[in-house]
A and B are shown apart, each in its own frame.
Chain A
Amino acid sequence: MLRRLILTPDDHRIARLTAAAIAIALVESAVPSPLPGVKPGLANIITLLVLLRYDWTTAAWVTLLRVLAVSLLVGQFLAPGFVLSLGGALASLLALFIVQPLVRCQSRWFGPVTLSIVAALAHMLTQLLIVRAWLVPSPGVWVLAPVFFGAALFFGSLNGLIVAWLMQPNAGGVASNENLPHNTQP
C-alpha cells in the first residue's frame, strides 16, 4: 500500500528557495578561485533572505539541503570539501541564530550586513579550524588566516548589502512581499 506524502506549503516554499540556492551555488562552483576556499558564497544571499522573510528554521533547512544537494551534484559528497561546507554552514547558522535577535529587535541599528558579516566570519573560522585539525595539521595554516579573514569580511559585507538592497520595498520586487507566498512578516 502506498503511503501518501502530504506536502505542506512550507515544503513547497523550502523546495523552491533551496532550488534557487542550489542554482547559485552551482554556478559559483564553476567559477575558478584565486585561492582554494575563497569564494563569494552568493548562495548565502538566499539563506539571509529566508531568515529575514521567514524564520531561522526555514533558513537552516534551505541551507543544509543546499549543501547536501550541491555536494551530490558536484560529486564530493562525504569528501573533505563536503565536510568543510557542512561545518561552515552549521557554524554560520549557529552564529545567525545568536545574532538574529539583534537584527529583529534593533532593526534601526542592525541590518542584513551585520548578519552576513557575522555568518561569514563564523564560516571562515570553522573551516580554518577543520583544516588545521584534520586536513593540514600544521601551525602554518594560520599564516593564511588574514587572507581568509579579509575575504570573509569583503564578501560578507557585499552579500549583506545585496540582501539589504533586495529587501527594499522598491528593489524590482525580487524579495518583496507579494512575490513570496505565505509571508510571515507582520
Chain B
Amino acid sequence: MNWFPKHPIRKLLRPGDALVLLAGIAGWVMLSVSLWQSGPAAQAQVRRDGVLVAAYPLNEDRTVSVTGPIGTTMIRIESGRARVVSDPGPRQYCVRQGWLTRPGEMALCAPNHISLTLTGGQPTYESMAY
C-alpha cells in the first residue's frame, strides 16, 4: 500500500482550508434557505388600513383600482407578479418599488393607507424545457 496517503487528512485539509469550507457551507445554506424557503408567489393581497379588501391570483392578468383617503391607487397584476402602477402619494415610494415577484414582498402606499403584499400558497405549475 505504498500509494496510499501516509499523512492524516489534517495534512491535506489545513485549518484555514476547513474554515473556508465551513464559510462556504454556511453561505450555501443561507442562499438555499433564502431562495427556496417559499415556493413561487401565488396571490396578491390588497389591504386598506391593514384590512384585507381584495386578493387576486397572480396567474390572471388584471388591473385593479383601490380608493383610499387621498385618491385612487392602481395595481397591475401581470405574468405572475404585481406592482403599484400609480398612487396619489407625494413621494411615490410604492410605485418606484416596481414589480413584486416573491412571497412576502410588499409595497406600502402609506399616504393612501393601501398596501400590496404577495403571498405563497399552492405553487403554480410552470413548464421548464432545456
Q: How far does the alpha carbon of A114 sit from the alpha carbon of B24 in the complex, in Å? A: 10
The residues in A between 108 and 160 inclusive whose CB is less than 8 angstroms from any CB of B are 108-114, 117-118, 121, 139, 142-143, 145-146, 149-150, 153, 156-157, 160
> If A146-B32, A150-B28 touch, does A113 touch B14 (CB 8 Å cutoff)?
yes
With an 8 A cutoff between CB atoms, is B52 at the interface?
no
Interface size class of B (residues with CB under 8 A): 20 to 34
Q: With A145-B31, A171-B3 as known contacts, state yes or no: A153 contacts B16, CB within 8 Å.
A: no
B25 and A164 within 8 A (CB): no
> When chains A and B are docked, how far (Å) is the Cα of A145 from the Cα of B33?
12
From B16, B36, B101, B130, contact of A36 by CB (8 A):
B130
Q: Is the CB of B28 within 8 A of A171?
A: no
Q: Which of B14, B24, B36 contacts A153 (CB 8 A)?
A: B24
Q: Are B2 and A153 in contact (CB under 8 A)?
A: no
Can you show 29 pairs from A to B with CB atoms below 8 A apart? A107-B14, A109-B14, A111-B13, A111-B16, A113-B17, A113-B21, A114-B17, A114-B20, A117-B17, A117-B20, A117-B24, A118-B20, A142-B35, A145-B31, A146-B28, A146-B32, A149-B27, A149-B32, A150-B28, A153-B21, A153-B25, A157-B21, A160-B17, A161-B12, A165-B5, A168-B5, A170-B6, A172-B2, A172-B3
